[in-house]
Amino acid sequence: MSMILPGSTIGIIGGGQLARMMILEGRKMGYHFVIVDPAQDCASHDIANDQIVASWSSLNAALQLAKVCDVITVDTEHVAWQSIQAIEDQVPAYPSSIVLKNVQDRLSQRDFLQKLDIAQTPYVNVESIDELRNAIDQVGLPCVLKTRTSGYDGKGQAVIKDKDDIHVAWDKIGRVPAIVEGFVDFQDEVSVLVARTRVNSQVRIATYPLAKNIHRKHILHKTVVPAGYPENIEKNCFQFAHKIVDAFDYIGIMAIEMFVTKQGEVLVNEIAPRTHNSGHFTYGGCVTSQFEQQIRAITGQSLGATTLIEPVVMVNLLGDLWKEDINFQTLMQTPGVTLHLYDKHPAKPGRKMGHFLVQGQDIEALSAKADDLYNQLT
Ligand SMILES: Nc1ncnc2c1ncn2[C@@H]1O[C@H](COP(=O)(O)OP(=O)(O)O)[C@@H](O)[C@H]1O
Ligand SMILES: [Mg+2]
């Protein structure tokens, strides 16, 4: 890949908070940004140099973007791979259409992982209620039904505990092609963020410390780093992550969500070919943030150090908290705490509005401090 020099323009499909933070980091390196987002007032609108107001998957928008950009990336994997394929010979795009095609359909993603011999929960493709019934015989109960495409933050999912729940679950996901997965009674959820690029045709890989993630209602609530796992489990997680990025000949940041079972087995849950919510701790918590790293990777620069500066806890702030007047005063007056807000309007339940970091020495104490600060906001 050739180097994309400062002064060049980076296109981002999707103008949410991930794009916003990529722009904040990329601007300091002298890059310009054009975003594609259907919402005129998306989180990046006032800091991007230009915006094409169109759907993320619009072919026209992709063609327009290709004309004005030197490299293209995304802040969501829900971009039609066909639109990226149509412009790839004009402008480099990371992730590539092949990566998007394999990742945005949960079935092809799981098939891809299976071919690589990566441990995961059993899964079966289902396209009708009869197939769902048969699939349950294979994966057992409880299990999780997930739409093959367009799911995020637990949307398009239903847990089936009992055979009587089948109809409700099938209706809940909208009776569309889906996969059914064995329910994993995990000890923890963890994620690995890994960056991969080529500098003068040499592959470079940089891996961030393992992060432990706590979800509420299927949405990330809190990330704790260090995750506190023994070296052998960490090594297992990193090996899976490296195998995946190498298999794709990947360029950019990838986040890989994993379950650690009560027996200490590591199972890959899903992969995201982009910067990720569970990597927000790196923005202030590591020498190089995931957002700066993404810009470095896609412009052919050397990768930055992924070293953790000190233990850190990240807590998400969802729109639910805004229902009454939200008061950030205590948070902002507490030493070691950094508030990030995405300037999104309006606040809605489940909408990611911001996050805060708590940094210090003792991870147990930090985690308790983070909970305490969060509870004061509710
Ligand atoms: N097979 C499973 N077993 C147990 N919990 C699951 C399973 N699949 C998903 N979950 C829970 O639901 C959350 C969201 O599911 P995920 O597959 O990551 O989809 P998405 O993040 O795209 O909505 C996970 O982080 C996990 O907490
Ligand atoms: Mg997930």
Residue linked to tokens 């379950």: 259
* Residue 269 Cβ < 6 Å to ligand 1: yes
User: b/e for 13-26, b at 16 or more Cβ within 10 A?
Assistant: bbbbbbbbbbbbbb
Please give the pLDDT value at position 153: 85
Q: How far is CA 59 from the centre of its chain?
A: 24
The predicted-structure confidence for 152-171, as pLDDT tens digits, reads as follows 888 999 999 999 999 999 99
Torsion of Cα atoms, 136 then 139 then 143 then 145, to 10°: -70
Nearest CA residue ID for atom 12, ligand 1: 218
Ligand 1 atom having least distance to the Cα of 182: 1
| CA 132 to ligand 2 center in whole angstroms | 22
* Residue 121 Cβ < 6 Å to ligand 1: yes
Mean pLDDT rounded to a whole number for the chain: 97
3-state secondary structure of 34: strand
Q: What are phi and psi of 207, to 5 degrees?
A: -120, 135
Ordered DSSP codes for 48-68: SSEEE-S-TT-HHHHHHHHHH
Ordered DSSP codes for 98-148: HHHHHHSSHHHHHHHHHHTT-----EEEE-SHHHHHHHHHHH-SSEEEEES
* Residue 188 Cβ < 6 Å to ligand 1: no
Please give the pLDDT value at position 15: 98
Angle in degrees, 0-180, between the axes of helices 17-27 and 290-298, rounded to the nearest 10: 70
What amino acid is encoded at 136 in this protein?
Answer: I
Global pTM exceeds 0.85: yes
| CA 141 to ligand 2 center in whole angstroms | 21
* Residue 78 Cβ < 6 Å to ligand 1: no
**Which ligand ends up closest to the CA of 123?**
1
Please give the pLDDT value at position 154: 86
Please give the pLDDT value at position 274: 98
Q: How far apart are CA 76 and CA 97, in angstroms?
A: 13
Please give the pLDDT value at position 113: 98
Largest Cα separation within the chain, whole Å, is 60
* Residue 25 Cβ < 6 Å to ligand 1: no
| CA 163 to ligand 1 center in whole angstroms | 20
Q: To which CATH superfamily is domain 122-182 assigned?
A: ATP-grasp fold, A domain (3.30.1490.20)
Residues with CB under 5 A from ligand 2 (ion): 257
Domains of the chain: which residue ranges? 1-102, 122-182, 312-377
Tell me which CATH code domain 1-102 carries: 3.40.50.20
Q: How far is CA 332 from the centre of its chain?
A: 27
| CA 201 to ligand 1 center in whole angstroms | 37
Nearest CA residue ID for atom 13, ligand 1: 218
Ligand 1 atom having least distance to the Cα of 215: 27
Q: What are phi and psi of 21, to 5 degrees?
A: -75, -30
| CA 216 to ligand 2 center in whole angstroms | 12
Ordered DSSP codes for 342-373: ---SS--TT-EEEEEEEE-S-HHHHHHHHHHH
| CA 259 to ligand 2 center in whole angstroms | 11
Give the residue ranges of the chain where pLDDT is below 70: none
Residue linked to tokens 């796992």: 229
* Residue 179 Cβ < 6 Å to ligand 1: no
The predicted-structure confidence for 303-328, as pLDDT tens digits, reads as follows 999 999 999 999 999 999 997 778 89
For the chain, what percentages of helix, strand and coil (3-state, to nearest 5) are there?
35, 30, 40
Ligand 1 atom having least distance to the Cα of 181: 1
